[in-house]
Structure 1
Amino acid sequence: MSQSILTVSGLSRQIKSLLEGGIGRVWLSGEISNLATPASGHIYFTLKDDRSQIRCAMFRGRATRLTFRPAHGQQVLVRADVTLYEPRGDMQLMVDSMQPAGDGLLQQQYEALKMQLAAEGLFATSAKQPLPTQITTLGVITSASGAAIADVLSVLKRRDPMLKVIIYPTLVQGREATAAICNAIELANQRNEVDCLLLTRGGGSLEDLWCFNEQAVARAIYHSRLPLVSAVGHEVDTTIADYVADVRAPTPSAAAELLSRDRSHLGQRLQALQQQLQRATAAQLRQQQHQLALLNSRLQAAHPKAQLQQHSQRLDELSLRLQRAIQSQLQRQRHQHQQLQQRLQGQHPQQRLGIAKQRLEGLNQRLFAAQQRLFSHKRYQLGQLVAKIDSVSPLAVLSRGYAIANCHGQALTDASQASVGDSIDIRLHRGQISATVSAISQPNKNQ
């Protein structure tokens, strides 16, 4: 045949290579289902929405970094590499990081926009404008009633009272703040009445500071002809505006010190240059890290560790199947044991003795009843016999007034059987009389 014939595993490897090389790392949001956490420490789950689902695996080294406990039905945002699980031929995600949806989605949008603008060169050192060596008029873009402007004015009054300040009031939070900030930057550039601009506000959550992460604000800062210093939030807060600005100050007060003159002016200038160098170095480092991540992703696809992870996942899958099989077998054995125990109890001597005892009691009751019936019948028969005997008994005759005379041990039935002077015993119905024959009379032959 002119075409080469692939094996199933060979085709799976090609598909895996295409997925990992063609798609690579993605951000994905969805709902967790079919969550499994075996003893190995790895996490397996399905990420789904209302139309589709895809299997995911997160190995122990990444899972230990989670700041929350994943649960069934939870909405999450994951960063993962698209790959293929070769033993089943299933497409799956190899999850690198995971966080709850909400702030996580904002963070993902923040990272995506930061990478986009960095690729376009908005963070490049070559695009940064140097701050004026002498600032006589400073423009401040912020809320006129916020704490940031109070801190800035307090520091400027203490350090450089001669410095003129022009405030361009604007919203610094909410949906309308983005357009307001862009308009304030454009207005300051049109008037061209200040030497430098300071874009600032106090600290807040990622959502509170989100207007400073909007692309429109970033491009307005980038196109500003006036040098611009960004001081948004606290020291730990970093926004897109901070990356695009010519100089980033950690706090509003620090920005005021940077832009004001005093004995430490040269030191502050040096610090600003150091910050610019650090920012340039950090930007270059981030670009190199991004390139390294892409190369590392390709390397991991061919690295033995990836095969080891697949084998580890396969082992976890077989382990879970074995656990389910063992549990099923144990349930069947328990059921059979219960059946045998019930049959054994049915054949147990004690139970059989109990049944025999019940039967014996029943037979005893039947025997007693039969005896009672027999005794009653015999008693009845005996009464009839006694009545018959009584009917022919001499004693019954005696009760009617007759008597029995005995002479010489014989019952007298004829007067000739006794002689005058003989002693006779007369048996009455009640009692006995002894008498002596004094005369004998014979009945007439006619009688």
Structure 2
Amino acid sequence: MTVNYLTVQALTKYIKRKFEVDPYLREVYVKGELSNVKLHTSGHIYFTLKDEKSQIQAVMYARNANALKFKPENGMKVMIQGDVNVYESSGRYQLYANDIQPDGVGSLHIAFEQLKKELEARGYFKPEFKQPIVKFPKKIGVITAKTGAAIRDILSTLKRHYPIAEVVVIPTLVQGKNAAPQIAEAIKRANEVGQIDTLIVGRGGGSIEDLWAFNEEIVAQAIFESHIPIISAVGHETDVTITDFVADLRAPTPTGAAKMAVPDQIELMQYIMSLKARVFNQTQGILKHERARLNRVQNSYTMQYPDRLYRPFIEQLARLDEQLDHYTKRTIERSKNQQMQLTERLRAQNPIKEVQFLKQSIDQMTTKLSYLAQHQVEQKRQLLFNNVRSLEILNPLAIMTRGYAILYEEKNVVKSIEQIKVDQNLKLKLADGQANVKVLEITKSEGK
């Protein structure tokens, strides 16, 4: 009997054909634990699916792997839908996964926790990277859908609480496959525009699937890199997204975000009134202090005898005038002596060249002497002028030339009508003298 031996390839192809025609292996649903998970650079995922007694090799190609919301990890309990076939090169059968779902916990929840853990390790949630929200913003940016309850609530709240702020709405998708890239692009565009003090990024409530755009890494990256402080305003108070952790401030609702972005009008008015009261009190204190100083000056010995205030300056001017006269005479006398010495020398020697030289020297000295004398006189004149100006400024009687006068009772300056009475004799000091006056009538000013 002749035996026909099959090649390995033929046998493998036969077995593979059996797998392909078996309807139970074309679509299988199997659950187990992941191990030996390898995420290939091509996007394919290679892993082993096992339970307590058996294991099977498995692969998920990139076209299906890219649709997963989470990243498969070792030890994860999963449910897989796919088909079983033979890999000819190795002769092994393996599971080809079309879809993977977590067993017991939703894929979105796992994806959320995975991204949260990864971003936290990068430092995206650290307090030192949080920017303070501008207290009195001039321009506020709002990134959300152009229609819906969220944008209406934000705009109405901003107008009611802080109408002086300019609001710039940057509309974008907030739900669906293309929402996350659009939100990230809107944040970058707001930073490029400039002059925006605060950004509100968010939307109204919904399911975890509806809010998923705010759990994408691309949005978290854009928020972290923003130079403008960002308030996260996603969903209701119980909804928590990745943007809440990365943003500089988290608001429970879009309306709450609008309130956090601006000061309250009533609180602002109270703050202004408190500042006004502080300024008034400080001003009153300064006026009281300066009034007391003025009273001390008016009651001082100098104000009773104001002419004695500038008496030292008159004496100083006299001394300077004497010094100037003495210096001028001494300089002229020295010049005459030098001229006489030169003349005597010329008469004794009388050489022509020396006469010319000496004559030239005399001319130079005369010119220099004249310049020095003129310079000194000008300096002294300027000094005298400055001292006279200072004296005029400091002279308390100067104001009297404009029609003011000082009233004395004995030696005391009269500052109030409470100090005088009818028929009392007083002394009135004027700019060019004084006069004795008698009080005929006293009229008190209103409100005093």
What interval of TM-score do these two structures reach, taking the shorter chain for normalisation? 0.3 to 0.5
Instruction: Using structure 2 for the length normalisation, give the TM-score.
Output: 0.39
Instruction: Using structure 1 for the length normalisation, give the TM-score.
Output: 0.39
